[in-house]
Chain A
Amino acid sequence: MLRVCLRGVKATAQKSSGRIRLTNVQQCRVYTTGESSGASRVVAAGLLTVTGGIGGTIIYAKWDHKFRAAVEKNVPYSEWLLGLALGPASQDAGLPIRKQMESIQPPSMMEKQMRTSKAKSEKKLKETTEPALSQPTQNIQAEASAEATQIISAISEVQSIPAPCDTEPAAAAAAVLQETESAGAAEPLRERSAEEVAARLAQQNQDEKDIIASLSARLDDSLASSAKATLQAIGAQEAALQAITQHTHKLKEAMETEGPTEEKSTQWKDLEAALADRTTSVNVAKTALVKANEALDSLKSVIDKSRGLKITAARPLILAAEENLHKMVVDLDKVVSKVQSAESEAKIVAQYTELVNEAKQQFQREVSSLTPEIQANWKGLTGKLSTDDLNALIAHAHRRIDQLNRELAEQRVRGQIHMEAALEQQRAEDQKALDKAVGTATQHVKEEARLEQERKLADLREVIEAEMRTQLRRQAAAHTDHVRDVLKVQEQELRAEAEQELSSKLLEQETRYRQLTQEQLDDFTLDMNAAYARLKGVEEAIDSHVEAEEEARKAHRLWLSVEALTYTLKTASAESPSMPLEDAAEAVRASCVDSDFALALTSALPEESLKRGVYSEASLRARFNSLRSLARRVALIDESHNTLYQYFLSYVQAALLFEKQQEVPPTQLRSEDLDPFKLLSYASYCLEHGDLELAAKLVNQLRGEARRVVEDWLTEARLTLETRQVISLLSAYANAVGLGTTQAP
């Protein structure tokens, strides 16, 4: 693109230049057009490149999501553009990782949840035991079974949760013990004593026994009553059966036998009696049955109620009662079915007799209609009848026989039909009876099966109960062991504590005694020391007095010698140095043989001053003034600038430069103050005001030739300063010593 631009620019430039060369008149217009075509080309190329770049970016961003993310991050507004072109970013890369994390988390979280839920359920169980316990004691049986379930569940919980296991069994055992508390348990964690627990258990057992006793009494009563009623009913039913069979038998006999009238009448009488018998016995049986059913129902209700109480020990009783009930019901049903079959048979026979009676009556009517004069008892009329009557009778008889034959045939057919109908009826009745019997049989079987199941359940329960007891015993044993161990540990701890306490108290007492004795000793020694010190002080005071006097004399001598030394300094005249300080220094040395400080100071006096003496300040001042002009003249000369030309320049500078004669030196020298002219004026000022030291310091700052020029003066000044310093120190020392030794009157 750059090249294109350049080319374009070049072309433009060439063209423009060409046009200028060729035509001057139409310069401007051609210039602009050439430029515009070139510019337009450049612009077009630029636009093309930009769009190509953007399109490529978009396409690549569509293909590579990381690139897209990078572009979005770095280029503002690109996410808007990319969103417009491609739709929102799918963010596939982020999700799988997150999903993995989430999937990893749930198992652990679920485990935790399970554990927490288990712990929670355990806690809930324990909590529910406490509120459960707050119910009145009539639910002791509920408690007992709840106990069992919770102990089982607690044991199972302990086995499943591994970590906080050591205290769990104890806690579970404690919880078990807690569960045996009664309603008044305000602090659920307080463990009852063993006697209380035993008492409670005994109480529970007693209550159970009482209830069982009452229950069994009730059951027995109801059983007895129901048994009696059932037996009665059975007896009545049997009697009824007997009566019915008797009656039917008699009826059959009466129907079949055609004996003489007296027999018949007796038979009929018997029959009637039998019938009456039967009805009464049937009624009696019915009432007895009703009573028996009532009794059985009451027994059933009692059994249900007792079952509702849920005492485990009463179950065998209940079971036995149920079995009895079932047996009685079965017997009753059997007898009732027998009676019913007999009744149905009797019904058939009755029907048969009815039919027979009806036929007989019909015949009788016919005969009487035919021969109205012939009476019923026609068998006795054999000798009285004429031949016509006999013939008529025979004809009638023949006709009657025909008729009867026809009737017989008809009757046979009808009888067949009736037979079939009766068969059908019988079949239906049989079916009904069968169904009923099947129903009762199934019921009995069901009842038997249920009883069997109950029996099995009772056995199983016993077995489980026994096992649970052994587990509980084991638990109790473990608990006692643990308690024993804990007690042992506690005993040891307490013993250690007590021993520690004892030893510490003993130590305290000992230390206190020792302290007291030590104090006494200390006081005594203090007194002794004080007295001794005072004696010593007195002695020392006397000695020091003597010494002080000696010192005073020495100090005086020193002071005098130092004064002499100071005086020698003053002997310096205007041009010549002072006298040599040798003698005076000697005198000072002699007078301060025992003071190292003074000796050191005297030895610090410079040799030159001792030998030759020092110049006074005034002479130095005068000399400086003459030196100053010289120093000014060679101000520019130093190691690197020392040609004659530099000398010439330096002389010219000295001639032309004017500075203050004396200038106050600043407290701190800055770099521009190191100009020799300035320094010299500072030094002049200092000298005029008597500050030789500062002047020397300032002069010391000169460099180069100027420095060489004033070197002599500087050494002399140093010498003078040193000597003066030493002497001032010595005099100060002498003064101090003198002051120290002087005693106020």
Chain B
Amino acid sequence: MADELGRKWDRCLADTALKTATGVGIGIVFSVLFFKRRTWPVSFGSGLGLGMGYSNCQHDFRSPYLIHGHVVKDQ
């Protein structure tokens, strides 16, 4: 149980880095292809990537506390 936290952190950081990089890349691509080499797609993409990574990370840390509800239909 104590190791879980460490593992989570590893996953989280890796995931975030990956996503950010991916975002940056896609941003560059888009910037080059569609937006005349503006910087905003890059920052947008990086932000997108960071955000996704952050969200995933948070979700991962929250997962033990999340309650999953099921809709019960009256038969």
Contact = CB atoms under 8 A, between A and B. Distances in A.
Interface in B17-75: 54, 57-58, 61-62, 64-65
Nearest to A623: B2
Nearest to B9: A647
A626 B2 contact: yes
B5 A643 contact: no
B5 A642 contact: no
A714 to B, nearest CB: 9
B1 A708 contact: yes
A709 B58 contact: no
A711 B1 CA distance: 7
Given A627-B2, A709-B2, A644 B65 contact: no
Interface string A610-641: 00000000000000001100100010011100
A625 to B, nearest CB: 12
Contacts of A328: none
B62 A630 contact: no
A713 B3 CA distance: 12
A711 B61 CA distance: 17
B2 A644 contact: no
Given A642-B61, A642-B62, A710 B1 contact: yes
B58 A634 contact: no
Nearest to B61: A642
A195 interface: no
A634 B8 CA distance: 13
A672 interface: no
B73 to A, nearest CB: 29
In the complex, which range does the number of interface residues on chain B fall in?
Answer: 10 to 19
B5 A644 contact: no
A619 B5 CA distance: 21
B61 A709 contact: no
Nearest to B60: A644
A634 B65 CA distance: 14
Interface string A703-717: 000001111110000
Nearest to B55: A644
A634 B1 contact: no
B5 A634 contact: yes
Nearest to A647: B61
Contacts of B65: 638-639, 642
Contacts of B61: 637, 642, 644, 647
Contacts of A642: 58, 61-62, 65
B62 A709 contact: no
Interface in A582-629: 626-627
Interface in A377-420: none
B54 A644 contact: yes
Contacts of B57: 644
Contacts of A634: 5
A630 B58 CA distance: 18
A622 to B, nearest CB: 13
A640 to B, nearest CB: 8
Contacts of A712: 1-2
Given A642-B61, A642-B65, A709 B1 contact: yes
Given A644-B61, A647-B61, A708-B64, A630 B5 contact: yes
Nearest to A634: B5
Interface string A642-654: 1110010000000
B38 to A, nearest CB: 30
A709 B5 contact: yes
A627 B2 CA distance: 7
Contacts of A713: 1-2
A107 to B, nearest CB: 86
Q: Taking each of B2, B57, B58, B65, which has the highest tally of chain A beta carbons within 10 Å of its own beta carbon?
A: B2
A644 B2 CA distance: 18
A32 to B, nearest CB: 75
Contacts of A639: 65
Q: Taking each of A626, A627, A639, which has the highest tally of chain B beta carbons within 10 Å of its own beta carbon?
A: A639
Contacts of A630: 2, 5
A709 B57 CA distance: 18
Contacts of B54: 644
A388 to B, nearest CB: 209
B51 to A, nearest CB: 12
A505 B2 CA distance: 95
Q: Taking each of B58, B62, B64, B65, which has the highest tally of chain A beta carbons within 10 Å of its own beta carbon?
A: B65
A124 B64 CA distance: 111
Contacts of B62: 642
Contact of A643 (B1, B2, B58, B64): B58
Contacts of A638: 65
A708 B1 CA distance: 7
Contacts of A711: 1
A521 B58 CA distance: 94
A727 B54 CA distance: 51
Contacts of B58: 642-644
A603 B61 CA distance: 40
Contacts of B64: 708
A647 B65 CA distance: 14
Nearest to A639: B65
Interface string A12-54: 0000000000000000000000000000000000000000000
B46 to A, nearest CB: 18
Nearest to B58: A644
A621 to B, nearest CB: 15
B9 to A, nearest CB: 9
Given A626-B2, A642-B65, A708-B64, 6 more contacts: A627-B2, A642-B61, A643-B58, A647-B61, A710-B1, A713-B1
Shortest Cβ-Cβ A-B pairs, 4 listed: A712-B1, A639-B65, A642-B62, A644-B58
28 contacts: A626-B2, A627-B2, A630-B2, A630-B5, A634-B5, A637-B61, A639-B65, A642-B58, A642-B61, A642-B62, A642-B65, A643-B58, A644-B54, A644-B57, A644-B58, A644-B61, A647-B61, A708-B1, A708-B64, A709-B1, A709-B5, A710-B1, A710-B2, A711-B1, A712-B1, A712-B2, A713-B1, A713-B2
